[in-house]
Amino acid sequence: MGERVVFATLGHVAFVVTKVPNMLGVTAGTRSMMRVDAISDGKFLQWVVEMCRLLPTSPWDALPHTGLALVDVGDPARGLPQF
């Protein structure tokens, strides 16, 4: 049996990278689960920050790297959403 590979877009990776620390903070009691401001309470901004951080260090080929293959490597707009 070979290496298990997860196929995902960079946006999905950024979503997980944003959610995991948030949920760890909620579990540790250092962050509230309750929303105070608008919908998502700044989570979109956190996602955008993660995308900016991940883009320069992400693979630019579709080959698996430590079990993760990014499927949107050929898309020039794979990074941030266009407004």
Give the pLDDT band of residue 81 (cuts 50, 70, 90).
Answer: low
Determine, yes or no, domain membership for 46: yes
- At 8 the three-state DSSP class reads strand
Residue 47 counted as domain residue: yes
In a domain, 30, yes or no: yes
Q: How far apart are CA 26 and CA 23, in angstroms?
A: 5
Q: Do the domain assignments include residue 44? A: yes
Instruction: Give tens-digit pLDDT for 28-41.
Output: 988 776 666 656 66
Residue 73 included in any domain: no
Q: Is residue 26 part of a domain?
A: yes
pLDDT digits (tens, 9 = 90+) for 3-54: 899 998 888 888 888 888 888 888 998 877 666 665 666 777 777 787 888 8
Q: How confident is the model at residue 75 (pLDDT cuts 50, 70, 90)?
A: confident
**How many domains does the chain fold into?**
1
Q: Is residue 67 domain-resident?
A: no
* Residue 14: partners with Cβ closer than 8 Å, 6 or more residues away: 47, 50, 51, 54
